[in-house]
Amino acid sequence: MPEAADPPAFPIPRECPYRPSARHVGLRADGPMTKVQLYNGRTAWLVTGAAQARAVLSDYRRVSIRPYHGNYPLLNEEFEKVVDSGYADVLFGVDPPEHTKQRSMIMPSFTLRRTALLRDDIQRIVDEKLDDMMRHGAPADLVTMFAQPVPSMVMSTVLGVPYDEHEEFETPAHKLFVPELAEEATTELGEYLDRLIQKKENDPGAGATGLLDDLIANHLHTGELTRSELVHIAMAMLVAGTDTTTNVISLGTMALLDNPEQWEALRADPEIVPAAVEEILRYVSLVEAFARVAVEDIDLGDGQVIREGEGILISCAGVNFDPAHATEPDTFDILRPARPSFSFSHGIHRCPGDNLARLELEIAFKSLVERMPNLRPAAPLDKLPSNNNDGTLQRLYELPVLW
């Protein structure tokens, strides 16, 4: 009887920054669930089937998101540093009932109605950054001049963080995902947010106000939240709400420019931008996988059982590129009928800011194609630096453009 092959190593490096590796997506050929080997020698289940992924992410009683379980599937050493820093101790790192309590505190600020009220502010921010680029003149770096500052300014508005202090939170936020700097970055960002919370307590209503002020008045002062919890919630939202959107803007623009017929389609009809955003989210699949661990045996009915204590990776790319989710999934096509991608996850830990992210992306791409219809790369796209190999949040470090 032939020996079973060793599980494939995961994560699988991308050949192209703006789309997952075909080898990653191709793991579905072995079925909707397959074992993979992590950098530390441990194995985990990789779930690539859309139905199985939704079932696992909906099963909060038998599946835990807490990263302190022994076999929680960390993708690299960087993730260990981030977990050790305490960054994952709230929201996307806790299970019910803590998660339920914390999420209920922030969700009123992210409803469709509340998000829609931000449209004018977001449009102003986007226009301001495009004005800055045009004054600067071509070539300009779309990442540092547009993709980074827009989400940062939007989240500052939402949270009530003074943007004139942006270097105090942007600098440590960028260092947070560098393994050797994670602990230092968490300390710096935590100290800044603690000072800001103290300032807001001492002088309520002064300066920039937003969700942080609501959490202080309605939950910190009532004892529902500790100061440490509030600092970590603010940190999680500030980092997650900026880094993800930044990378979708930069990688999405790269994908459009690398497929000129797609840019032309958007230029011909900017009103298709909502569908274009969904296709960009699907195709880029920014997060390689969502990590969980089984706390009970799980039989998904396909003959394979996830045993208690085993790590689980729910493949974002696997679902987004599943033919059951999208026809001809390997084709980047912004004209396909709009269907929500899997990129904001599913179940109780679905991204709370998905409405805000979609609105930002729609305004950013529509304004970009209307203000700079002749946008084009100023350097070979296949030479641009990105983090194709580390399995963390996919990011592009620079995108020089002309217009």
Task: Quickly list H helices, 176-315.
Answer: 182-202, 211-215, 227-258, 260-268, 273-284
Q: Are 64 and 45 in contact (CB under 8 A)?
A: no
Which structural domains are found in the chain, ordered by start? 22-402 (1.10.630.10)
Report the sign of the C-alpha dihedral through residues 275, 276, 277, 280, in that order.
positive
Can you give the pTM of this predicted structure?
A: 0.93
Q: Identify the CA nearest to 83 among candidates 74, 70, 91, 95.
A: 74
**What distance in Å separates the CA atoms of residue 177 and residue 179, rounded to the nearest whole number?**
6
Q: In the prediction, which pLDDT does 3 show?
A: 44
- Element housing 360 (H / E): helix 354-371
Contacts of 120 by beta carbon, 8 Å cutoff, 6+ apart: none
Point out which residues pair with 311 in neighbouring strands: 44, 293
**What distance in Å separates the CA atoms of residue 80 and residue 58, rounded to the nearest whole number?**
25
Task: Specify the amino acid at residue 111.
Answer: T
Percent helix, percent strand, percent coil in the chain, to nearest 5: 55, 10, 35
* Residue whose structure tokens are 């807001």: 200
Query: Peptide bond before 7: cis, by omega within 30 degrees of 0?
Result: no
Contacts of 174 by beta carbon, 8 Å cutoff, 6+ apart: none
Contacts of 176 by beta carbon, 8 Å cutoff, 6+ apart: 82, 85, 87, 182, 185, 186, 189, 239
Q: Identify the CA nearest to 252 among candidates 396, 89, 47.
A: 396
- Order across the sheet with 289-294: list the strands: 33-37, 43-47, 311-315, 289-294, 63-64
Angle, helices 182-202 vs 227-258, to 10°: value is 120
Q: Are 150 and 129 in contact (CB under 8 A)?
A: yes
Q: In the prediction, which pLDDT does 6 show?
A: 84
Point out which residues pair with 25 in neighbouring strands: none
Token reading at 301: 């009915």
Report the sign of the C-alpha dihedral through residues 280, 284, 285, 286, in that order.
negative
Task: Specify the amino acid at residue 385.
Answer: P
Centroid of chain to Cα 76: 17
Token reading at 83: 């977990």
**What distance in Å separates the CA atoms of residue 147 and residue 164, rounded to the nearest whole number?**
18
Q: Identify the CA nearest to 203 among candidates 162, 260, 233.
A: 162
Q: In the prediction, which pLDDT does 184 show?
A: 83
Q: In the prediction, which pLDDT does 68 show?
A: 86
Angle, helices 354-371 vs 227-258, to 10°: value is 40
DSSP state of 337: P
Q: In the prediction, which pLDDT does 261 show?
A: 98
Token reading at 351: 């991204």
SS3 322: coil
Across the chain, which has 403 residues, the per-10-residue mean pLDDT values are 70 93 90 92 94 94 91 80 68 92 94 94 97 97 96 93 84 73 82 93 85 95 92 89 93 98 98 97 94 94 88 94 91 92 92 95 98 97 84 87 98
